[in-house]
Chain A
Amino acid sequence: MKPPEGMFDESVIYVTRQGAQVQVDGGRIVVWDVDGDEGELASFPIEKLDTINVFGGVNFSTPFVARANEHGIVLNYFTQHGKYRGSFVPEKNTIAEVRRAQYDLSRDEELAIAQQMIAGKIRNARTLLSRKGVRGTDVLKDLGVRAESDTTKDDLRGTEGEAAERYFHLLDETLVDGWTFEKRTKRPPEDHINSLLSLTYVFMKNEVLSALRQYNLDPFLGVLHADRHGRPSLALDLQEEFRPIFCDAFVVRLVNRGVIDHEDFRKDNRLSDDAFKIYLEKFENYMNEELTHPHFEYTVTRRKAVRQQAILLRKAITDELEMYHSLTFTK
């Protein structure tokens, strides 16, 4: 198969240069060094972008914000060290019919979608482990089957929890000497590996948020994660299937290839400034790296693959497709 053309190329940019300003110049977005004297740092055609992530002391010109609004460009704000602070979401982002379909989903329909996501996640966890030669994943196989036959969301959450525990237990075996994975800790991440995982989940969550917004889904209305004020539940749901195969695999690659070392962390387990820049660059390359799509067999970047999942999710919600089809890799 051939991929549809012109999809989402260069659709996300990151601005990390402190003291930079994002401006518009005709049909282009220009990142300008206002504090220093380097002038134009980069420029991008406006109609290609849908997300701009800025870190720390970066600001926007007023005409730029107006343009971003007009073109439906989402702006995500992070601290200089990658902690998420908030977003600017353009107003044209709702399409009544999509929202109506999303609000009208029955419990059963939500469960069916969530089952595909969790079963997909478990499948991908197994695949990552077996790519790394880790054995003993049969339990995961059984849990995958169970996910598809659970009849309540609580049961499904239970299955997911059990699978996660098994999987993280085995993840340690994928790491090179000098690195260990004890257990998953979140707030705060207690070691370097957990810190990298948390950071990567934040970045992937933002990829997924952009994708959902691009297709006008309400990211705050989940199918499995409980709706809690201010939590993008649907993004967390859709993120599940990407966690092992994209996020964890990325972290494993960073440490196994020695891109990130223990020396790159500060006392509080956060990456040092220089290491964080490297991390960002690697993450961006990783999302733009091409792979063969496991279902469609054409070449796509990871970013495109994620965005296509948002399309498939929307189609499942608006009844264009019978069911949600998660992105699963079987080898």
Chain B
Amino acid sequence: MSEELVNVSDLNQHAYCPRRYWYLHFYDTQGRNYERIEGKTKHENQSERGNWLNELYLESERLGLKGKIDVLDLENGRTVPVERKRAESGDYYKSDEVQLAGYCMLLEDHLDEPVRQGAIYLYETDQRMHVPITEDHRETVREQIDAMQSMTVDSIPPFTDNPKKCEACSAREYCLPEETARLEPKKVRGTGWEGRI
């Protein structure tokens, strides 16, 4: 199978809103190339200090995933991937958990032993939160990968069903959900934007 490997960080984009990932994937190829190159060079420079590891790049054909783990903690013989986040609200999103689950699964594949826990570190509050990875998380990751691999440029994902998400979405000035609802109400049928105008 020659299906493209899905980037773990894109799991987050897709989980947040499939349309957002669609824009990123099909309409911003440059940004993605950049990310790929960066992932590689950082991997080559990976450093090992004390009991934690920086910048570990992994790929798995079996899972259909690839990605770079920011920080890997070695706590009493257990490996815990840590995802660092900027979160002004002081909390993380559900989609961040999905991303973390992706890293845990990649690591599992690599180490050949179970990884049941990850951590999210929030810059703003200097907080580290442990997140147990459940079977639900794993199932979500597998579903996302499936959906992402079968996405095509001609099948445009609908707007999100939760317009609140648009407020914090960097794609908004291009996506224009509310404006679309005004100009072509038909296009927002069945989404969270229906009837909001």
Contacts and interface: CB of A to CB of B under 8 A. Distances in A.
B29 A296 contact: no
- A-side binding surface: helix, strand, loop or mixed? loop
- B-side binding surface: helix, strand, loop or mixed? helix
B187 A322 contact: yes
Contacts of A295: 179, 182-183
Contact of A296 (B30, B179, B184): B179
Interface residues of B, number: 20
B135 to A, nearest CB: 36
B130 interface: no
Contacts of A296: 178-179, 182
A322 B27 contact: no
B4 to A, nearest CB: 15
Most chain B CB within a 10 A radius of its CB, from A6, A312, A320, A325: A320
Given A1-B178, A97-B153, A321 B187 contact: yes
B184 A321 contact: yes
A296 B154 CA distance: 27
Interface residues of A, number: 24
Nearest to B26: A97
Given A4-B172, A7-B173, A97-B153, A325 B183 contact: yes
Contacts of B178: 1, 296
B86 to A, nearest CB: 16
A291 B154 CA distance: 35
Given A215-B174, A322-B186, A325-B183, 13 more contacts: A1-B182, A4-B172, A4-B173, A5-B173, A6-B173, A7-B173, A95-B27, A97-B153, A296-B178, A296-B182, A311-B176, A312-B176, A312-B183
Interface of A: 1, 4-7, 92, 95-98, 215-216, 295-296, 308, 311-312, 315, 319-323, 325
